[in-house]
Amino acid sequence: MKKRVWSILMTAALAVSLTGCSGGAGAAKEAGKTVEATAGTTANAASENGDGKEKAGDGKRVCIVYSGNLGDKSYNDSCNEGAKEAAADYGVEIKNLEGTSAEEWEANFLSACEDGYDLVICSSSNFEEYMKEHCASYPNVKFAIIDTTVEGDNIVSISFAQNQGSFLAGAAAAMFTQKTDIEGVNPDKIIGWVGGMDIPVLHDFFTGYEQGAKYIDPDIKVLQSFAGTWNDPLKGKELTLAQFDQGADIVMNVASGTGPGILEGAKEAGKYAIGVDLNQDNDQPGSVLTSMVKRVDTACYLAIQSVVEGTFKGNSTSYLTIKEEGVGLTDFSVMKEHLGDKFPEDIVEKVKELEEKIVSGEIVVENYTGFGANK
Each residue's pLDDT tens digit, 174-231: 999 999 999 999 999 999 999 999 999 999 999 999 999 999 999 999 999 999 999 9
Cβ 90 vs Cβ 45: under 8 Å: yes
pLDDT digits (tens, 9 = 90+) for 270-293: 999 999 999 999 999 999 999 999
Q: Taking the CB of residue 33, how many other CB atoms lie within 10 A of it?
A: 12
Query: Residue 12 above 80 pLDDT?
Result: no
pLDDT digits (tens, 9 = 90+) for 318-336: 999 999 999 999 999 999 9
What is the structure's pLDDT at 286?
A: 97
Averaged pLDDT for residues 119-123: 98
CB-based burial label for 101 (10 Å; 0-12, 13-18, 19+): middle
pLDDT digits (tens, 9 = 90+) for 71-110: 999 999 999 999 999 999 999 999 999 999 999 999 999 9
Spatial distance between the Cα atoms of 317 and 250, rounded to a whole number of angstroms = 35
Averaged pLDDT for residues 252-258: 97
Do domains 2-160+296-320 and 162-294+326-360 share one topology? The answer is yes
What is the structure's pLDDT at 366?
A: 97
Average model confidence (pLDDT) for the chain? 87
Averaged pLDDT for residues 259-274: 98
Residue of 243, 249, 124, 139 whose CA lies nearest to 194: 243
Residues 6+ apart with CB under 8 A from 143: 119, 120, 121, 122, 131, 135, 150, 152, 154, 155, 156
CB-based burial label for 199 (10 Å; 0-12, 13-18, 19+): middle
Give percent of the chain with pLDDT exceeding 90: 82
What is the structure's pLDDT at 16?
A: 32
Residue of 308, 371, 344, 330 whose CA lies nearest to 55: 308
The larger pLDDT score, comparing residue 58 to residue 215, is at 215
Q: What is the pTM of this model?
A: 0.83
Q: 2-160+296-320: which CATH topology?
A: Rossmann fold (3.40.50)
The domain spans of the chain are: 2-160+296-320, 162-294+326-360
What is the structure's pLDDT at 266?
A: 98
CATH superfamily assigned to domain 162-294+326-360: Response regulator (3.40.50.2300)
